[in-house]
Amino acid sequence: MKFNEVIGQEEAKQRLLQLVHEHRVPHAMMFCGPDGCGKLPLALAFASFLLGEREDDSSIGNAEAMLRRWEHPDLHFSYPVIRPAGTSADHKMVSDDFAREWHALLAEGPYITIDQWLDAMKAANQQAQIYAAESDELTRKLSLKSSQGGYKVSLIWLPERMNAECANKLLKLLEEPPLQTVFIMVCEEPEKLLDTIRSRVQRIDMKRIGNEDIERALIEQRGIEQETARRIARVANGSWLKALETLDTGNENRMFLDMFIMLMRLSYMRNIKDLKKWSDTVATYGREKQKRMLDYFGRMIRENFVYNFKTPELNYMTQEEENFSRNFARFINESNVIDIAEELQKCKRDITQNGNAKIVFFDLALKMIVLLIRK
């Protein structure tokens, strides 16, 4: 993984290279930033650089060959895992238990989400965490001498998912790091980490990816036509993950758009019978999916309200979304936009608190009938 494979983030790249050139690489770093900005890809690129891979053909030793499949002996991955059903209670779960799945997911591309990782592990409803045994295993690995005579790199993805025992053991490692070892943490929610861990790492904050960088990557890497790439980049709002979702013809947001259109049309027609069917359908989604759908609905309400101002630079919609909004936007106005947004938030709150989904969504649908006729 080379720096030129990371989309955007030129400022962060230059900062990291400067640390190397000035021989000021800290023993522990934490990469933070918004979802989809490329924290893991940049961490992988930096780890690769420390282990000898270069942008040109001057890679040190066999670094490039070993890193191509992430099998460098001095690169150690730690990440959240599950305890599969049937696993012996005596077995202590560590990242290596899912090494095959991890390498397979990375082979598909370094821009990954926790949901993709859970799917790769076939987690179902299980929550992934980094168990205490991971710190013990990491201590053992890092106590060994570097096989290539250079750095040893410990890349920890989502350290905020460490359980308390693991976090305390990792803290001891950070306080007394093994020789020539660099810890790179890729963190989504740094506030959940122990204060003592945060105080011992150098934080690298990343910004959202620039629209121009996403547009360029879509054209060069995906062969997308320029106008389509421009529109996707605006909707992605600095997240390469969202840009990829938009490209996927079967992506979740397309389904959410269909459900949004159905809700609005049935509410306008006051079709109570079909609104009940709509409620029963969305009630079958998992709660996390229901919450994502309500967030999407909230965004669509905002976009339709803004669409009425006829200022295109303020709108962030796909072509399909705009096609619907062209006729629908006039129904979202000053009289109802705030109340609709609040009802969506109430619905999300009730779902989060384990409310009966059929009742919660049918209540939302009935309220939408009243709100859409306000002028």
Q: Identify any residues that bridge with 162 across adjacent strands, giving them in sequence order.
A: 130
- At 69 the pLDDT is 85
Q: Tell me the pTM.
A: 0.75
Q: Does domain 242-373 have CATH number 1.10.357?
A: no
| Band (246; pLDDT cuts 50, 70, 90) | confident
- At 68 the pLDDT is 84
Q: Average pLDDT of 338-362?
A: 96
- DSSP H or E stretch at residue 78: strand 75-78
| Band (227; pLDDT cuts 50, 70, 90) | confident
- At 101 the pLDDT is 96
Q: Is the pLDDT of residue 262 over 80?
A: yes
- Work out the percent of the chain whose per-residue pLDDT is above 90: 76
- At 121 the pLDDT is 95
For the chain, residues classed under CATH 1.20.272 are 242-373
The rounded mean pLDDT for the chain is 92
Q: Average pLDDT of 107-131?
A: 91
Report which listed range, 22-31, 120-129, 230-239, is most confident: 22-31
In the chain, where does DSSP find H-type helix?
10-21, 39-50, 63-68, 99-108, 114-120, 132-142, 164-175, 195-198, 211-222, 226-236, 240-247, 252-269, 272-282, 287-307, 319-328, 337-352, 357-372
- Of 55-69, 73-87, 178-192, 322-336, the poorest mean pLDDT is in 55-69
Q: Is 149 left (phi over 0), alpha (psi -120 to 50) or beta?
A: left
| Band (131; pLDDT cuts 50, 70, 90) | very high
- In tens, the pLDDT along 2-15 reads 999 999 999 999 99
Q: Is the pLDDT of residue 324 over 90?
A: yes
- At 56 the pLDDT is 67
- What's the one-letter identity of residue 363? D
Phi, psi of 339 (to 5 degrees): -65, -40
Q: Is the pLDDT of residue 250 over 60?
A: no
For the chain, residues classed under CATH 3.40.50.300 are 3-207
Which position has the higher pLDDT, 264 or 286? Answer: 264
Q: Is the pLDDT of residue 58 over 90?
A: no
- In tens, the pLDDT along 182-191 reads 999 999 999 9
Protein fold of 3-207: Rossmann fold (3.40.50)
| Band (33; pLDDT cuts 50, 70, 90) | very high
DSSP letter (8 states) at residue 156:
E
- At 148 the pLDDT is 83
List of long-range contacts for 263-272, beta carbons under 8 Å, 24+ apart: 263/297, 263/365, 263/368, 264/328, 264/331, 264/368, 264/372, 266/365, 267/365, 267/368, 267/369, 267/372, 268/331, 268/369, 268/372, 270/369, 272/366
| Band (314; pLDDT cuts 50, 70, 90) | confident
- At 287 the pLDDT is 87
